[in-house]
Amino acid sequence: MLLVLGGLWGATFPIARWGIHEGAAPFTLLTFALALATLVGVALGVLSGAPWPSARSLASSAALGGLLIGGNNVLLFWGVQFTTGGLASVIYATTPLIAVLGALALGASSGLRALGIGGLLVGFSGVLLLEIGAAGTTLLSNPVAFAAILGGAASQAVGTVLVSRYRPEGEGRYGQAAQFAGAAGLSGFAMIIVAGPYTLAETLPTVSSLAYFALFSVVAGYAIFFRMIHNAGAVSANLVNYLIPIVALLVGVTLLGESAGWIEGVGLAIILSGLALFELAGRRPSPRPRAPLRAVPMEAPPVSPDL
């Protein structure tokens, strides 16, 4: 699931840029895609015969979606206009680390040992090296954009922790649709605040990017993401952000004719090493608890016949 989701989300950036370049305003594209994803989510719920949740549950899902999906994408779409995709990839690679801090702040255990934390740090250093080698990323090139994208990464990280905590049984079809609706509402509000442009040209690139974002990035992508949160936890699910730069690099080399040097190769090896360390930490058996001491009855001393 991690590999599939990395492929789906890794291809989102070039496809979205394709549509925006051909005449789609960023927030308009995002809002319409999330609205379409909401309708598809409701249709899937009806076709699958999923039980209708309570109004309170739907409202809770909409709030979670506003944070996890809406805040994440709104801040990302705004910040990436003023910086590079490489910077966004580096910042979003901090989401597993932020998820650990979020879990601790909410009083939940991340379930990680020192080796797992080390794997996260090694993987992040690989992402940093990969992006610096590929695009010469400068982290402080635009402080405002940096803060916006970091806020988006934090929204995703904290949102996954909250979903893991308040949806331990998983998110149903209608719950997912409610999350998409909450995100669409936040995106629509951002579109109004930014005050346009509201263009969405009826061209093949625009329609294709809208359809891909709605169906594959949102509906299919978040269905996989929610399942990963349910099965493996918030920190493990956010490891997908380590794979997105790898997918972007492979797409650039194979389809766009871009070149890759030894720095990219080293960065790729470091990322995979970090993921391997994290996986190894998850497979190591936990220390066995010591067996409690059992009370051994003492034999009564023999009674002297003289007494």
Q: Among 2-11, 201-210, 217-226, which range has the highest average pLDDT? A: 217-226
pLDDT at 10: 79
pLDDT of residue 289: 44
Interatomic CA distance for residues 187 and 77, integer angstroms: 10
Average pLDDT, the chain: 77
Distance in angstroms (rounded) separating the CA atoms of residues 92 and 83: 14
Give rounded-to-5 percent helix, strand, coil for the chain. 75, 0, 25
Given this model, what pLDDT does residue 93 score?
Answer: 74
For residue 26, give both structure tokens.
């960023």
Prior bond to 197 cis, omega within 30? Answer: yes
Q: Inform me whether the pLDDT recorded for 236 exceeds 50.
A: yes
Domain locations in the chain as residue ranges: 2-283
Query: Which residue bears the tokens 């990323």?
Result: 137
In the predicted structure, residue 293 carries a pLDDT above the cut 80: no
- pLDDT, tens only, 197-217: 677 777 887 888 889 999 999
Query: The whole model's pTM is what?
Result: 0.77
* pLDDT tens digits, one per residue of 88-130: 666 777 788 778 777 777 765 555 566 666 766 777 777 666 6
| Mean pLDDT of the region 224-231 | 91
